[in-house]
Chain A
Amino acid sequence: MNPVVLVIVAISVVVPIAFVAIVRRLAFRLAGGQSSSAVMTAGTSAIPSIRVSIDFGWKLVRDLMVLLVLGTGTSILLLRFIYGIGSVTNLSDQFPLGLWIGFDVMGGVALAAGGFVIAGVAHIFHVRRFEPLARPAVLTALLGYLMAVASLIVDLGRPYNVWRPLVHWQHRSPLWEVGVCVALYSGVLFMEFLPVILERVNQIEVVTKRLPTVPLYRFFTRFAIVFVILGVVLSTMHQSSLGSLWVLVPEKLHPLWYSIRLPILFWISAVAAGFAMTIVESTLSSKAFGRGLELDLLSDLGKYASVMLWIYLGVKFADLAMRDALPFLFEGSLQSFSFWIEILLGVVIPATVLSIRPLRKKPALIFGSAALIVLFCIVLNRLNVSMIGLYPFTGRIYTPSWMELMVSAAIISLGVLAFGAAARYLPVFPQHEELTGTAD
């Protein structure tokens, strides 16, 4: 047997176990030395300790699956860095950008729009009711961007050159702009989230005595609005520029999607995604942490999302009409089929449900509509633009390999684990005192 394969298998077994052990150790320390079985399983500590003892079997299966995904993901990464991108993906010179760009980066960044949307509504438009939602939204965004950057590192052939766009300015390249903005915005998001970390750190006397974390906290809360405004500006720039990427290929992209107004459409849908993602994240975390659901707030978010969706629909069809592309709607191709799924399931249905007040009061319907927006208006749309819409030019020569899917799944798992850990040990949610009362 090839020794390289043995090494890969060994590393992929050791790395996740080491990861779990380290996280467990850290969590144990942070929790003030009190072991709780929720902490035992990496960051899956999403469920507070009180509820852990219930259904042990399911939890074990879930943890094993997470470990399996992480382990396989690690082996695939090793393969990718030893034998090249071609050895694990179905990419080719004719179809050079695939799932990791179309889904992880383009979809991921759009779904992380909640950070700038909610922070903007709460702090710039100063709708104070939404302030409790801002922290989890910023956390989701920060992790979303880190996940997108992680995917990018995997996808880039020469990742050690990832900093080059910051130095060699290429203002004609949309990708340059996306790169610079994502780098800057990740920093801004960290600054926005820093007060949450510092709040926790400031509870530890040993640290506050030695480090100026208290004044630092004061500084970042005072100047929070600056970072929020910067965040909105940077987000507007790169959310739209992810669409501009495809303005470069008029000969390749199907006319149902190719438009010079693609950046505008990307931006509008990203704002809608920001609201939708916040609904999804609030609902899921209220389940996971046994928190109450801020139904009124979510209902309002749903209303805002529906407004954005109607605007999106209007701009989309006006754009199609202006480009004389309406006949393509009925050409019966895979592209037109995919387009209708995207528009009906991702825009029309959720927008209708969220526009009707009685329906908007039902948590299940709010969550369902938000999930539809996430899955179809964003994920399917980004895949249509980056993949399915290119098939007429390239032929159907690319579908993601199982290894590409596995890497995406591993990165998402890491993100969810990190969210769980952060939500448990940091004052992300308003009622955090009850959950993390152990440490002092």
Chain B
Amino acid sequence: MSECGRKALSRREFLKQVGLGTAAGVGTWLVAERVRPAAASEAENKETFGILIDISRCVGCNSCALACKESNNLPDKDQVPEALDPQTYTFVQPVSLTTAAGEVATRYVKRQCMHCLDAACVSACPAAAMYSSGTGPVVYRAVRCLGCRYCEAGCPFTIPRFNWDNGVTPKINKCWMCYERLAEGGQPACVAACPSGALHFDKRERLLSEAHARIESDPDRYLHHVYGEHEVGGTSMLYLSDVPFEDLGFRTNLPTFAPPEETEKVMSALPMVIGGMATLMTGTALYTHRRPHEEDEE
């Protein structure tokens, strides 16, 4: 029966259909082109804030982790957390190691979201539930979240935590750099609580010069590497240390470009693919259907 329909198709009608097809293809392309350049470089222009974490100054008092629980109203407020979980945005990890001098020593590493400048989780999110505030913090809004966990899969630091035991309303949980407190002109709760000066909150640029100044003033003590300056294209959380980062469990083989730049390359080729494919297919269809009646006789 569909055969009959197709045989009766006149050339004019066919052209009309093909025209519609082309129009649809080109339309999609135009829409895609129009919205494309919006989001990428927003964060770069604004001044972004961050936290400088000097591991050599940390005494492991856990004030930051407890202040975080208090400020974010997370459960188990009086217990010192020992790992990231849906109720823990940050914790202090004691690491025992042997220093270059051969002594056994302990260092305390505060772990939390690194707040990448061009974050994989932000670029991964299909609904902008995870988004960059533009001033450093990478923030999550549950109301848009699908719970697809592609942000977790994308995160180079394995930071986000999902409520695996929640059937219908699980969320992604991670440090948000106390975005609300920052908006009111304050400091993140962990920085405000730090008694030893290991945490320092400021604009990222100033933190970087501060970090390099500390390295220069004491080059024998500090490692000549600010972790987070270049890792995955730069992070808002910056670490200084007096022992090698790999001994502290940091990933030191991360790329210095932001992974979203790679997907961006692929995604920006799409409008071309759409346009090309629509044109090619429409052209082919036009060509093969030009004499429908003659081909029937084959």
Contact of A174 among B40, B162, B267, B295 (CB under 8 A): B267
Pair A94/B158 contact, Cβ less than 8 Å: yes
**List of B residues within 8 angstroms of A172 by Cβ:** 39-40, 123, 260, 263-264, 267
Q: Which has the most chain A C-beta neighbours within 10 Å: B161, B164, B254?
A: B164
CA distance A83 to B167 in the complex (A): 5
Contact of A170 among B127, B164, B232, B281 (CB under 8 A): B127
CA distance A226 to B150 in the complex (A): 33
Shortest CB–CB separation between residue B146 and chain A, in angstroms? 5
Which B residues, 127 to 173, have Cβ-Cβ distances below 8 Å to chain A?
A: 127-129, 144-150, 152-154, 156, 158, 160-170
Contact of A168 among B127, B260, B264 (CB under 8 A): B127
CA distance A174 to B168 in the complex (A): 25
Contact of A97 among B149, B253, B285 (CB under 8 A): B149
Q: How many residues in B have their beta carbons less than 8 Å from beta carbons of A? A: 79
Digitize A240-262: 1 where CB-to-B-CB distance is under 8 Å, 0 elsewhere: 11001101111110000000100
Interface size class of A (residues with CB under 8 A): 35 or more
Digitize B35-79: 1 where CB-to-A-CB distance is under 8 Å, 0 elsewhere: 110111000000000000000000000000000000000000000
Pair A260/B262 contact, Cβ less than 8 Å: yes
Binds A, one of B92-100, B106-114, B222-230, B271-279: B271-279
Pair B149/A84 contact, Cβ less than 8 Å: no
Contact of A230 among B24, B148, B156, B163 (CB under 8 A): B24
Once A126-B285, A128-B295, A175-B148 are accepted as A-B contacts, the answer to whether A96 and B162 lie under 8 Å apart by CB is: yes
CA distance A106 to B145 in the complex (A): 21
Pair A84/B170 contact, Cβ less than 8 Å: yes
The chain B residue with its CB closest to the CB of A231 is B281
- Does A233 belong to the interface (CB within 8 Å)? yes
Digitize A149-182: 1 where CB-to-B-CB distance is under 8 Å, 0 elsewhere: 0000001111101101101111111111111000
Pair A161/B145 contact, Cβ less than 8 Å: yes
- Does A120 belong to the interface (CB within 8 Å)? yes
Binds A, one of B15-23, B183-191, B192-200, B201-209: B15-23
**List of B residues within 8 angstroms of A247 by Cβ:** 259, 262-263, 266
The chain A residue with its CB closest to the CB of B20 is A226
Binds A, one of B1-9, B211-219, B236-244: B1-9
17 contacts between A and B (CB under 8 A): A81-B168, A84-B163, A97-B150, A158-B147, A161-B146, A171-B36, A172-B40, A172-B264, A176-B125, A199-B1, A221-B6, A225-B285, A230-B21, A240-B273, A248-B154, A251-B253, A260-B262
Contact of A248 among B3, B166, B259 (CB under 8 A): B259
Which B residues, 21 to 39, have Cβ-Cβ distances below 8 Å to chain A?
A: 21, 24-25, 28, 32, 35-36, 38-39
The 10 closest A-B pairs by CB, nearest first: A157-B147, A86-B164, A126-B288, A176-B126, A221-B5, A164-B127, A96-B149, A96-B152, A158-B147, A157-B170
